């Protein structure tokens, strides 16, 4: 029996924990910061992959197809006050995937739809979602309403994954977690090096758009 070459490239996993969002665009970075914090706090058992999915969209398809269970951290239009946190499962995930508050979410919707069309969708999908406040502040980070919800999001995710049967061990104090992305994009460093409003327009960050291009 011949094996699909693409299936060989992407190792099968029991669980994929994926943080989605754009750290260059205000509250959309919530999913990325939440998955970073989860990774810092817990050791993953065998068969679990943790990823900073950023805005990769369709590039995540093979990872989604290769996992049995899937948990997202992301922003969502919950129709609620900024900072509202909810865990979406079942039909709620379908409603989440049908709404588009940002370009990266459009990509995630397409990923889930295509995986289902190919008969390779995960068996269980959950989204730990927060209602964002602002989506048009280049170079920004989490708003005052959203920032405090990172820790509760990690706790809610851990509780759900425990219900699903996954056992995550807390990392011992001082243990350094494997990095999910470049160290220069870590939250503390990234925010500390953000230029002031006098140095950079909030409609364009000089770290990415030189002043003579703004």
Residue that wins the pLDDT comparison between 99 and 160: 160
Give a yes or no: residue 196 inside a domain: no
Helix (H) or strand (E) run with residue 130 in it: strand 124-130
How confident is the model over 143-184, as pLDDT tens digits? 899 999 999 999 999 999 999 999 999 999 889 888 887 676
| pTM as predicted | 0.80
> How many domains is the chain built from?
1
pLDDT tens, residue by residue, 22-52: 777 778 789 999 999 999 999 999 999 999 8
- Given the structure tokens 């006050």, which residue do they identify? 81
Q: What percent of the chain has pLDDT over 70?
A: 74
Domain residues for 120? 5-181
pLDDT confidence bin for 100, thresholds 50/70/90: low
Q: Specify the CATH number for the domain of residue 121.
A: 3.40.50.1450
Confidence of residue 213 (pLDDT cuts 50, 70, 90): low
Structure tokens at 71: 């948990």
* DSSP string over 78-142: -SS-TT-EEEEETHHHHHHHT--SSHHHHHHHHHHHHHHHTT---SEEEEEEE--S-S--BT---
- Does residue 209 form part of some domain? no
Buried b (16+ CB within 10 A) or exposed e, 73-91: bbbbebeeebbbbbebeee
In a domain, 130, yes or no: yes
- Is position 207 within any domain? no
Examine the pLDDT at 4 and tell me if it is beyond 50: no
Residue 111 lies in a domain: yes
Indicate whether 160 belongs to any domain. Answer: yes
């Amino acid at each position: 029996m011949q094996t699909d070459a693409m299936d060989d490239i992407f190792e099968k996993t029991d669980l994929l924990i994926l943080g989605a969002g754009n750290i260059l665009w205000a509250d959309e970075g919530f999913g990325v910061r939440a998955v970073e914090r989860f990774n810092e706090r817990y050791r993953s058992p065998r068969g679990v992959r943790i990823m900073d999915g950023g805005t990769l969209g369709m590039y995540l398809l093979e990872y989604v197809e290769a996992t049995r269970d899937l948990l997202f951290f992301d922003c969502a239009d919950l129709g609620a006050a900024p900072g509202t946190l909810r865990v979406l499962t079942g039909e709620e995930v379908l409603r989440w995937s049908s709404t588009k508050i940002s370009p990266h979410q459009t990509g995630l919707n397409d990923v889930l739809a295509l995986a289902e069309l190919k008969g390779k969708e995960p068996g269980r999908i959950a989204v730990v979602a927060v209602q964002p406040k602002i989506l048009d502040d280049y170079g920004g980070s989490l708003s005052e309403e959203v920032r405090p919800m990172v820790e509760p999001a990690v706790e809610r995710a851990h509780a759900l994954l425990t219900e699903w049967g996954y056992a995550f061990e807390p990392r011992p104090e001082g243990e350094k977690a494997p990095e999910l992305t470049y160290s220069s994009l870590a939250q503390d460093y990234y925010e500390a090096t953000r230029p002031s409003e006098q140095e950079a327009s909030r409609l364009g960050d000089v770290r990415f758009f030189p002043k003579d291009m703004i």
